[in-house]
C-alpha cells in the first residue's frame, strides 16, 4: 500500500477529532445530570440551573474555554424517540393567506373557488394554490383574478392592476404566498428561540406551506403546541355596556322558545318587541322564579346563564365554558340578531378567558363594524415583556409604534370621556377589558392582564414580540413522546448495540483468527468515527439511527470478509503471504466499491424522501458506509502490513474454518427451475394475500391518531377495542398489544380531518375517561404528564392528517421506484450489459413482493406491531440495498471469471462464480442476521416490526442473489445467444468479430 504515512496521519487526525467532538457530549451529559440532582424533580429549578450556566465557562480543553451553551451546541443531538419531546408538521393555511391578499373579498366566485379548492385537496397531490387556480378557472366566467374586489385592491395596487390577465397575476400571487410562508417560518423560529428548548429544529418542506418543527427534550409539551399554533391575533376593541343587552337577551330567549314550538318560522315577527321593564325585571324574566326547574324548551338562553357582569361594565352575562358554542350559535342566528336595535347591530359577541380552575366564562359585547376590522391591532406592537401588575400577578406590558400610540391615545381618551372600557382580544378571546380612569394614555404603553400563569404571560410576551402568524397553522402531522419512553429507548438501544457489537467481534476472531482481531480494531475505529462525524455534523441520533449504526457494523464486516476471502484464495494458489495480501486487497476493491455504492444510493434516496427518524436512519447508514470503507480498505491493510512486516504469520482462518467452503462446486443453474417454482409460489401467495388480506397500513398512510398507553396490569386488546369503538367514545378504534401485555397501541380515525389543538385535547380526555376503569386511580394530569419516571399513562401520541398521509404514500412510491431506476442505471453503467441490470432489478422486485407478502400473511397474529409505515419503507429500501450488495459481488466475480477463463462455457463461469463467492455470501448474511436478531430481541418495541422486515429481507435477498438474479441474467443471455458479449474485448477482437459476422 502506498502512502502509509499519510493514511496513519489521517487515521490519527480523524480519531482525535472524533474524540474531541464526543467529549462535548460527555460534558453536556454530566452537567445535565448535575442539574437533575440539583432540581430534585422540579422542572423550573432544573431550567433555572442550566440557564444560569448558559454564558459561564464550564469546559476547558486547554486550547479554549467553552460555555454551557457552546458545549450543548457541539454535543450530539438526541432525537425525539430517545429524548422525548414534540415533533410536528405545521400546514400554514394558504387559504387564509389568499383571503388576506384579497382584503377578505366578498366576491362569490372567489369564495366558491376557495371552498372548491378545499374539497379538491382531499384527493389531490397539488398544492392548495394550484387547486385554487383549477377551481377558479372552472367557474370564473368573466371574473378575473385582477378584479377590483379580488386582487386588484388597494393593498396590491402597486403590483396588480385591473387590466392584467390571470396568467400575469398568478406569479405575483405565488410570490406573495411564498413571502407569507417565509414570514410564518421566521415567526415560528423566533418563538422557538424564545421558548428556550435545546437543539430545536425547524425547516420548510418544499413549497407546500409545510413547516417541520422538532423540539427534543421539551418538558411542557402542551405549552409548546399552543405556542406553535397561536396566531397571536391581538386586537383592541371598544365595548358596549353589558346592561344594554339585557332586553335583547330576553327577546332572544322568547324568540328561540317560539322557534322550538312553532313550525312556521314566519311567526317570529309577532314575537315580543323591545321590553320597557327595569333591568332587574329583565333578569327575572330570563331566569324565572326557579332556575333549577327550567328546561331548554321553556327557557333556552335563560337556563344557560350562570351570572351577570357588574353595573356599567362590558360583561353581558356569564355562561358555562361548555355552553359557549351553543350561546354564540343562538346569538348569531340572523333572526336573533334582527332583534338588536339598529344602532347596536354591529355588536360582536366574544367570550373572555376564564379564571384558573373555573368553568364559567364572561360574554362581552364589543363595538364591531361592517368589515370586522378592529380599531387597533397587534401589528403596532414593537416590544412586549412579562411583567407584574399592582396585585403582583403576571401581566404582559407592551410598547406600540408611533401610529399605534396615536390611535391608542384616541381610544383611551374616548373611553375615559364616556366611562367605557377597551377589550384586549387575543385569538378571539377577551383577555381583559380595563376601564380608563386617568385620561388618555399617551406614549403607546399598554398592558394585558387576565388570570395569567407565569408561563402564559412569558409565552404571550414572546409571541407578541416575535409577531403574529400571517395565517393559521394547523398540525397535520404530530408526534409527542414522553421522556420515560425516551429513556427506555436509550437503554434498549444501548443494550442492542453492545450485544450486536460483541457478537460480531467474537465471530470475526473465531472465523479469521488474528486477522479477525485486526478487523475488529478497524471496526472499533469505525464506530468512533461514525459517532464523531454525527456529532460534528450536528446530526440527530434516533432509535432507527442506532439501528442504522448497528446494521452498518454488520455490513461493514462485508468489506473485511471480501478482502480476507480473496486473500485466502490467493494463498490457496500457492502465492507468498505478502503477494497474497497485496492481490487480495487489490482484487476485492472493485466488489467492495460496487456493493457499497449500490447500498449508498438507496440510503441517499431514503435521506431525500424521508423525514425525522427515517432521515436519521439514512444519515447514519451513509456515514457508516463511508467510514467502513475507509477503515476496511486502509486501516485493516495498515495493521495487516505492520504485523506481516514484523515477521508475523497470518492464515486468515482458524483450525475450525481453514477448509470451510473450500473446493465447493455447486451447479446452481441446474437448480434454477426449482428456484423459479418456489419463488413463483411465494410471489403468488404474497400477491394473493396482498389483494385479499391487505396490509396493516399505519397512520402514516391512512391518517388518524395513535396513542401508546401503558397500564398497571395486563389488559385485553379486544376489550379495549370494543370499549373505544362505542359511538359515545370514538365510534371506531383499534387497540393492539404493543410489546408487553400491559401496553397497547390505540389507533382511531375519529375526527381525523380536524387538526385543532382543542380537538386533540378533547380526544385525549375522551380516551382517559373511557380507559379510567383500567388505570387504577390515575388522574388525568398524571395520565398526560411528562414525568420522567412515569410507568402508567399516555406514553406517546402521534397523528397524521389524511392529506399528508396521501403525500407520504406518494413519496414512498417514488422512493422505491427511484431507487430501482438509479440502481438499474448504475449497474448498467458499471457492467455495460442490460442483462446484469435486468437480473438485479427482477431480484429486487422479488424480494420486495415477498417481504410485503410475509407482512400481509402474518400481521394479524404476530405478537408485535407489523404496520406498514415510513419505517417499513425505510426497511424495504434497506433490503433493496442489501440484496443488490450481494448480487453485485456475484456479478463482479462473474465478470472477472469471464475474462480469466475465456474457454469456459457460460454455465461453468456462472456456477464457479457463485460457488467461489458462497463463503462471502453466507458469512456476511449470517453476521448481518446475528446483528439484526440482537436489535430485534433487545432493541425495543417501536422498531421490532422494522427489524423483522430487515430480517426477512436479508434471508430473501441472500436467496435471490444466488437463485434469482444470476439465473435471470443467464436466461436472458442464453436466449439472445449473447454469451460472448459478456466478456470484455479489445478493439481488435471486436473488429474481428464484426468481420466474421459480415
Q: What is the pLDDT of residue 232?
A: 67
Name the residue among 555, 713, 573, 540 with its Cα closest to residue 624: 555
Nine-digit cell string for 163: 387590466
Query: What's the whole-number mean pLDDT along residues 455-468?
Result: 70
- Is beta strand 793-800 parallel, antiparallel or unpaired with respect to 704-710? antiparallel
- pTM, two decimals, is 0.68
Domains 235-468 and 513-660 share a fold: no
Bridge partners, 401 (sequence order): none
CA dihedral 514, 520, 525, 527 (to 10 degrees): 180
DSSP 92: E
The residue assigned the cell 433487545 is 938
pLDDT at 105 exceeding the cut of 90: no
pLDDT tens figures, 876-916: 877 777 777 778 888 888 888 877 777 788 888 888 888 88
- Report the pLDDT averaged over residues 128-137: 89
Highest mean pLDDT among 188-192, 326-330, 614-618: 326-330
Report the distance separating Cα 708 and Cα 53, nearest Å.
36
User: Average pLDDT, stretch 796-820?
Assistant: 75
Q: Is the pLDDT of residue 123 over 90?
A: no
Angle at 657 between CA 654 and CA 662, to 5 degrees: 130
Of 565-574, 627-636, 837-846, 967-976, give the lowest mean pLDDT range: 967-976
Distance separating alpha carbons of residues 738 and 730, to the nearest angstrom: 20
CATH of the structural domain 235-468, one choice from 3.30.1360.200, 3.40.50.1980, 3.40.50.2300, 1.10.10.10: 3.30.1360.200
* pLDDT score at 986: 52
Q: Please, what is the average pLDDT of the chain? A: 80
- CATH T-level topology, domain 704-800: Alpha-Beta Plaits (3.30.70)
Mean pLDDT of 913-942: 82
Position 319 scores a pLDDT of: 92
Distance separating alpha carbons of residues 489 and 188, to the nearest angstrom: 29
Q: What three-state secondary structure class fits 275?
A: coil
Cα four-point dihedral sign 782, 788, 793, 796:
positive
Kindly state the percentage of the chain with pLDDT values over 90.
6
- If you average pLDDT over residues 797-812, what whole number do you get? 74
Cα-based distances in Å from 773 to 703, 777, 782: 28, 8, 15
Average of per-residue pLDDT across 101-108: 87
Position 982 pLDDT exceeds 60: no
| Closest among 472, 608, 478, 428 to 128, alpha carbons compared | 472
The residue among 237, 221, 218 whose CA lies nearest residue 229 is: 221
Do 684 and 846 meet the contact criterion of CB atoms below 8 Å apart? no
- Does residue 293 register a pLDDT over 50? no
CB contact at 8 A, 935 and 941: no
| Domain formed by 513-660, architecture | Up-down Bundle (1.20)
Query: Rounded to whole angstroms, how far apart are CA atoms 859 and 855?
Result: 5
Query: Would you place residue 974 in the very low, low, confident or very high pLDDT band (cuts 50, 70, 90)?
Result: low
Length of the chain: 998
- Quote the pLDDT of residue 687: 94
Q: How far apart are the first and last CA of the chain?
A: 48
Distance between CA atoms of residues 907 and 983, nearest Å: 14
Question: Is 92 within 8 Å of 209 (Cβ atoms)?
Answer: yes
- Residue 652's SS3 state is coil
88 Cβ partners below 8 Å, 6+ apart?
212, 213, 225, 228, 475, 477, 478, 479
Looking at domain 664-698+801-998, its CATH superfamily turns out to be Multidrug efflux transporter AcrB transmembrane domain (1.20.1640.10)
Least confident of 271-280, 558-567, 809-818, 891-900: 271-280
| 117 vs 177: CA distance, rounded Å | 16
Specify which residues 366 forms β-bridges with: 239, 348
- CA–CA gap between residue 73 and residue 75 (Å, rounded): 6
Asked if 586 and 563 count as a contact pair (C-beta separation under 8 A), the reply is no
Per-residue pLDDT at 997:
47
Q: Is the pLDDT of residue 995 over 60?
A: no
| Cell numbers that stand for 639 in this block | 495493521
- Sorted by where each begins, the domain ranges of the chain are 4-75, 89-231, 235-468, 513-660, 664-698+801-998, 704-800
Output the pLDDT for position 289.
46
Cell numbers standing for residue 275:
321590553
- What's residue 803's pLDDT? 66
Amino acid at each position: 500500500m502506498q502512502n502509509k504515512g499519510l493514511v496513519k496521519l489521517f487515521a490519527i487526525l480523524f480519531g482525535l477529532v472524533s474524540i474531541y467532538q464526543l467529549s462535548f457530549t460527555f460534558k453536556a451529559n454530566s452537567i445535565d445530570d448535575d442539574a437533575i440532582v440539583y432540581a430534585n424533580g422540579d422542572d423550573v429549578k432544573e431550567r433555572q440551573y442550566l440557564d444560569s450556566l448558559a454564558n459561564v465557562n464550564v469546559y476547558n480543553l486547554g486550547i479554549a474555554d467553552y460555555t454551557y451553551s457552546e458545549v450543548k451546541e457541539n454535543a450530539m443531538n438526541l432525537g425525539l424517540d430517545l429524548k422525548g419531546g414534540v415533533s410536528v408538521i405545521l400546514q400554514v393555511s394558504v387559504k387564509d393567506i389568499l383571503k388576506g391578499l384579497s382584503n377578505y373579498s366578498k366576491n362569490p366566485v372567489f369564495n366558491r373557488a376557495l371552498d372548491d379548492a378545499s374539497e379538491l385537496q382531499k384527493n389531490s397531490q397539488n398544492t392548495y394554490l394550484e387547486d385554487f387556480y383549477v377551481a377558479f378557472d372552472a367557474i370564473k366566467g368573466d371574473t378575473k383574478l385582477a378584479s377590483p374586489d379580488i386582487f386588484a385592491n388597494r393593498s396590491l395596487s402597486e403590483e396588480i392592476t385591473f387590466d392584467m390577465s390571470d396568467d400575469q397575476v398568478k406569479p405575483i400571487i405565488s410570490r406573495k404566498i411564498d413571502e407569507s410562508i417565509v414570514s410564518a417560518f421566521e415567526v415560528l423560529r423566533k418563538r422557538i428561540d424564545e421558548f428556550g428548548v435545546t437543539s430545536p429544529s425547524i425547516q420548510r418542506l418544499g413549497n407546500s406551506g409545510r413547516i417541520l418543527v422538532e423540539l427534543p427534550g421539551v418538558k411542557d409539551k402542551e405549552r409548546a403546541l399552543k405556542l406553535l399554533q397561536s396566531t397571536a391575533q391581538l386586537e383592541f376593541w371598544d365595548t358596549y355596556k353589558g346592561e344594554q343587552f339585557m332586553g335583547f337577551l330576553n327577546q332572544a330567549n322568547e324568540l328561540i322558545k317560539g322557534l322550538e314550538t312553532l313550525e312556521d318560522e314566519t311567526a317570529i315577527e309577532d314575537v315580543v318587541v323591545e321590553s320597557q321593564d327595569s333591568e332587574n325585571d329583565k333578569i327575572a324574566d330570563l331566569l324565572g322564579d326557579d332556575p333549577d326547574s327550567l328546561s331548554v324548551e321553556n327557557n333556552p338562553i335563560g337556563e344557560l346563564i350562570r351570572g351577570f357582569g357588574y353595573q356599567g361594565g362590558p360583561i353581558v352575562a356569564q355562561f358555562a365554558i361548555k355552553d359557549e358554542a351553543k350561546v354564540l350559535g343562538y346569538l348569531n342566528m340572523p333572526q336573533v340578531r334582527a332583534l338588536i336595535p339598529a344602532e347596536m347591530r354591529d355588536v360582536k359577541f366574544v367570550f373572555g378567558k376564564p379564571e384558573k380552575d373555573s368553568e364559567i366564562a364572561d360574554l362581552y359585547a364589543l363595538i364591531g363594524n361592517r368589515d370586522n376590522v378592529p380599531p387597533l391591532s397587534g401589528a403596532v406592537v414593537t416590544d412586549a415583556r412579562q411583567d407584574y401588575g399592582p396585585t403582583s400577578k403576571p401581566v404582559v406590558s407592551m410598547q406600540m409604534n408611533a401610529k399605534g400610540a396615536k390611535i391608542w391615545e384616541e381610544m383611551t381618551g374616548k373611553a375615559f370621556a364616556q366611562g367605557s372600557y377597551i377589550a384586549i382580544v387575543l385569538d378571539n378571546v377577551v383577555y381583559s377589558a380595563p376601564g380608563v380612569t386617568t385620561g388618555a394614555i399617551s406614549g403607546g404603553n399598554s398592558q394585558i392582564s387576565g388570570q395569567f400563569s407565569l408561563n402564559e404571560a412569558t409565552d404571550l410576551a414572546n409571541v407578541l414580540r416575535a409577531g403574529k402568524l400571517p395565517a393559521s397553522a394547523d398540525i397535520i402531522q404530530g408526534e409527542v413522546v414522553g421522556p420515560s419512553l425516551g429513556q427506555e429507548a436509550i437503554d434498549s438501544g444501548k443494550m442492542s448495540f453492545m450485544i450486536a457489537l460483541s457478537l460480531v467481534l467474537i465471530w470475526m476472531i473465531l472465523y479469521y483468527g488474528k486477522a479477525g482481531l485486526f478487523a475488529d480494531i478497524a471496526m472499533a475505529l469505525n464506530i468512533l468515527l461514525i459517532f464523531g462525524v454525527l456529532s460534528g455534523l450536528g446530526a440527530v441520533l434516533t432509535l432507527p439511527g442506532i439501528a442504522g449504526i448497528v446494521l452498518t457494523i454488520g455490513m461493514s464486516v462485508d468489506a473485511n470478509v471480501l478482502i480476507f476471502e480473496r486473500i485466502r484464495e490467493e494463498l490457496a494458489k500457492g502465492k507468498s503471504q505478502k503477494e497474497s495480501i497485496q492481490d487480495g486487497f487489490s482484487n476485492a476493491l472493485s466488489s467492495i466499491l460496487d456493493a457499497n455504492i449500490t447500498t449508498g444510493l438507496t440510503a441517499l434516496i431514503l435521506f431525500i424522501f424521508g423525514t425525522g427518524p427515517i432521515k436519521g436512519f439514512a444519515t447514519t447508514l451513509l456515514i457508516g458506509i463511508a467510514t467502513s470503507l475507509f477503515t476496511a480498505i486502509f486501516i485493516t491493510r495498515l495493521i495487516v502490513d505492520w504485523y506481516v512486516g514484523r515477521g508475523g504469520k497470518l492464515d486468515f482462518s482458524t483450525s475450525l474454518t481453514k477448509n470451510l467452503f473450500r473446493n465447493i462446486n455447486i451447479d446452481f443453474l441446474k437448480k434454477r427451475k426449482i428456484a423459479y417454482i418456489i419463488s413463483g409460489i411465494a410471489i403468488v401467495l404474497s400477491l394473493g394475500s396482498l389483494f385479499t388480506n391487505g396490509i396493516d397500513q399505519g397512520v402514516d398512510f391512512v391518517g388518524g391518531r395513535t396513542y401508546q398507553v401503558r397500564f398497571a396490569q395486563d389488559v385485553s386488546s379486544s376489550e379495549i377495542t370494543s370499549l373505544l369503538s362505542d359511538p359515545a367514545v370514538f365510534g371506531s378504534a383499534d387497540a393492539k398489544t404493543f410489546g408487553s401485555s400491559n401496553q397497547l397501541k390505540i389507533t382511531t380515525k375519529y375526527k381525523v380531518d380536524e387538526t385543532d389543538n382543542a380537538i386533540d385535547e378533547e380526544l385525549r380526555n375522551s380516551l382517559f375517561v373511557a380507559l379510567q376503569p383500567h388505570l387504577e386511580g390515575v388522574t388525568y394530569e398524571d395520565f398526560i404528564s411528562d414525568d420522567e419516571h412515569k410507568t402508567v399513562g399516555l406514553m406517546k401520541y402521534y397523528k397524521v392528517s389524511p392529506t399528508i398521509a396521501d403525500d407520504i404514500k406518494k413519496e414512498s412510491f417514488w422512493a422505491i421506484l427511484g431507487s430501482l431506476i438509479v440502481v438499474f442505471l448504475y449497474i448498467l453503467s458499471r457492467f455495460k450489459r442490460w442483462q446484469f441490470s435486468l437480473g438485479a432489478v427482477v431480484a429486487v422486485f422479488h424480494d420486495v413482493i415477498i417481504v410485503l407478502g410475509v407482512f400481509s400473511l402474518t400481521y394479524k397474529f404476530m405478537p408485535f406491531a407489523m404496520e406498514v409505515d415510513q419505517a417499513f419503507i425505510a426497511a424495504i429500501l434497506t433490503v433493496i440495498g442489501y440484496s443488490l450488495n450481494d448480487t453485485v459481488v456475484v456479478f463482479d466475480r462473474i465478470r472477472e471469471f469471464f475474462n480469466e477463463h475465456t474457454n469456459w462455457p457460460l454455465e461453468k463461469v456462472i456456477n464457479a462464480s457463485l460457488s467461489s463467492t458462497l463463503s462471502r455470501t453466507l458469512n456476511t448474511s449470517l453476521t448481518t442476521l446475528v446483528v439484526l436478531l440482537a436489535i430485534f430481541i433487545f432493541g425495543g418495541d417501536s422498531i421490532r416490526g422494522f427489524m423483522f422486515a430487515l430480517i426477512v429481507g436479508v434471508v430473501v435477498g441472500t436467496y435471490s442473489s444466488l437463485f434469482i438474479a444470476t439465473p435471470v441474467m443467464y436466461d436472458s443471455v442464453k436466449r439472445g445467444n449473447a454469451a460472448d458479449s459478456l466478456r470484455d474485448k479489445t478493439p481488435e477482437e471486436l473488429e474481428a468479430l464484426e468481420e466474421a459476422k459480415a
